[in-house]
Structure 1
């Protein structure tokens, strides 16, 4: 039996044949991550619940973008509800919730990652159609609205299928370098390592690179079209689009590059302890920024819009007046005669 065959590779602690002491890394995560994940959970939960409430109580998902935003808020809520488990895990430096919860929580993260990116791609495509293909977008978007449930169901089914390997192969077990249980994909044989590499590559390809290509393509033409257009709201629209792309890149690119490098070097046996520590630091720091994206989505895709803010204020006013029994019919003021052109314009520029 060769040394490579007896090596146990672990994604979190990157075990190799010669154990590497990573106590300083674990002390770092024990201090930083419980606080960071708790804050992300709190702000992400509040922001996304407000988004769902606004769509459910007032906005009624009038467009495809609205429907995508609502679905994104739902998948973000599912994800932030798992962060307290990770906060406890890093605070105690061990996994105490058992094998089933490990599979469920790891699977929900994979689902959030893939589904969130696919929905971002759908949003960018919808905005591309409404701006760049504006002359023929109304007929096409009317057809997509008729099949909106099918489109969203397809996104969810595709996300679940891509995430299934994470549900199946994750588990709670004891690592060779750590005396306590950890929650990770078990990689004790060469076949397990190959399978894990395949899973990571599939999820990166469908959950990151394809949506990123869609976003780059769509937003490049959107900005080009807005620059050429003579519209008083052009500058604001460009700022919104640029903000979306910048936040997406800042949050997601570093973490996914770390995952890519980790996957490419999993079978390398000549890694130094220092390089392992650097990769561990990079993973945890970039992972925190990637998780932060679920807090930014409500701001970038919802609260930054004037129309959505107006709806949100009316929802809050309605809830307050119910509480204090001093109601006016806030929902009765909802506009009902918007033309197709004005709806398209408000989606883009608000």
Structure 2
């Protein structure tokens, strides 16, 4: 067989093999090529760097101011109560307990500031204590203000009945104050149990969408905020109605301090609880996919929380500017400490006594805390 004949038979075989290899290469390339992905189906991480930077300066600044004012003001109130033995009525006992609640919370504020600035490095015990103290202070304050409003209702709207049981009132107030602290601790048990350290941050719950957390928050808001709020509104509405019918609005000066305390507390606590309720309902619906909305909600939560913390340092100033008897005792205490001259003391106290008709009787103790 000649060479020409051999080439004639081999050439189609080589061409066929070359064609198959090219086809295989094309197939391999098609098999291993990456498909085009639709990234719109994947969730995008919401960046909260702006909130972090905001907390770095906002929280330490305001927490430091609130802590200093709260410690100084409430210690002054407590010293005044014990120095002049002012525990003569139910309201006096409740106001003293309210000062202790605010004082304990003010002591926890440095830890709140540390948690907002950097990673939590102080251990699980202080983490749990920080959140538990806040809840105990909040719940005890609401229950104490409810008790004050009930006491004011009986003292003014049911004056005859209150006068008949005035000797048992002080014992009842001490027992009820103890019960209030126990109830506040019970309401705060979820924070004591579930508060933990997650991502180097002290947080009450691991997941904001946890159904258990949502149920606990709703129950706390109902029994420790909404219910006392209703009691306060009913009692003071009845007091105003009684004073209006009696046409003796001069007696209204005697309860200005209580009304001021309640107004200050509600003005500071209602906004934060409304935001907390809204975030709870939002969590029950699965949260939000709007990153801008989530960031704005965090800003509102931080600001309203600081306003809520503010009430621990406002109550002493309410006493000093409105409460006639407390202001007199405070001036006397400052005079004894050498912070106020004798001349200024008489100028401040004597003019106040003449303008308010102040007398040191049991009735003025009851109606003018």
Q: Which has the higher helix share?
A: 2
| Kept in 2: contact 1:258–1:283 (CA 8 A) | yes
Post-superposition shift, 1:218? Answer: 1.1
User: Where does structure 2 lack aligned partners over 5 or more consecutive residues?
Assistant: 1-42, 340-358
| Kept in 1: contact 2:89–2:169 (CA 8 A) | no
**Aligned partner of residue 111 in structure 1, secondary structure:** helix
Matches within 5 A, 1:254-269: 254-267=271-284, 268-269=286-287
> C-alpha offsets along residues 36-73 of structure 1, whole Å, 9 cap, x if unaligned?
00000000110000010011111331111111111111
Provide the rounded CA distance (Å) in 1 between the counterparts of 2:148 and 2:318: 12
**Aligned partner of residue 48 in structure 1, secondary structure:** helix
Matches within 5 A, 1:19-34: 19-34=45-60
Post-superposition shift, 1:318? Answer: 2.5
Cα distance 1:341–1:186, how it changes in 2: closer, same or farther (>3 A)? closer
**Residues paired across the two proteins, number:** 307
Q: What is the root-mean-square deviation in Å for CA atoms of aligned residues?
A: 2.3
Matches within 5 A, 1:137-216: 137-174=162-199, 181-188=200-207, 193-216=210-233
Question: Structure 1 residue 346 and structure 2 residue 368: aligned?
Answer: yes
Question: Structure 1 residue 219 and structure 2 residue 236: aligned?
Answer: yes
Q: Which moved more, 1:294-303 or 1:156-165?
A: 294-303
Provide the rounded CA distance (Å) in 2 between the counterparts of 1:338 and 1:237: 13
> C-alpha offsets along residues 196-226 of structure 1, whole Å, 9 cap, x if unaligned?
1122122212221111111111111122222
In the superposition, the TM-score normalised over structure 1's length comes to: 0.81
Cα distance 1:188–1:262, how it changes in 2: closer, same or farther (>3 A)? closer
User: Where does structure 1 lack aligned partners over 5 or more consecutive residues?
Assistant: 1-16, 175-180, 322-336
| Kept in 2: contact 1:55–1:61 (CA 8 A) | yes
Question: Structure 1 residue 118 and structure 2 residue 143: aligned?
Answer: yes
Post-superposition shift, 1:269? Answer: 4.3
Match of 1:280 among 293, 298, 306: 298
Cα distance 1:141–1:278, how it changes in 2: closer, same or farther (>3 A)? farther
Post-superposition shift, 1:135? Answer: 2.0
Post-superposition shift, 1:343? Answer: 2.8
2:330 is aligned to 312
| Kept in 2: contact 1:223–1:241 (CA 8 A) | no
Post-superposition shift, 1:339? Answer: 4.7
Cα distance 1:110–1:189, how it changes in 2: closer, same or farther (>3 A)? closer
**Aligned partner of residue 172 in structure 1, secondary structure:** strand
> C-alpha offsets along residues 126-150 of structure 1, whole Å, 9 cap, x if unaligned?
1111111112111234323223321
Larger Rg: 2
Larger RCO, structure (CA 8 Å, separation 6 or more): 1
In the superposition, the TM-score normalised over structure 2's length comes to: 0.77
1:81 is aligned to 107
> C-alpha offsets along residues 163-208 of structure 1, whole Å, 9 cap, x if unaligned?
111011101121xxxxxx1111233597xx1221122122212221
Cα distance 1:269–1:339, how it changes in 2: closer, same or farther (>3 A)? closer
| Kept in 2: contact 1:226–1:238 (CA 8 A) | no
Q: Which moved more, 1:312-321 or 1:250-259?
A: 312-321
| Kept in 1: contact 2:319–2:327 (CA 8 A) | no
**Aligned partner of residue 183 in structure 1, secondary structure:** strand
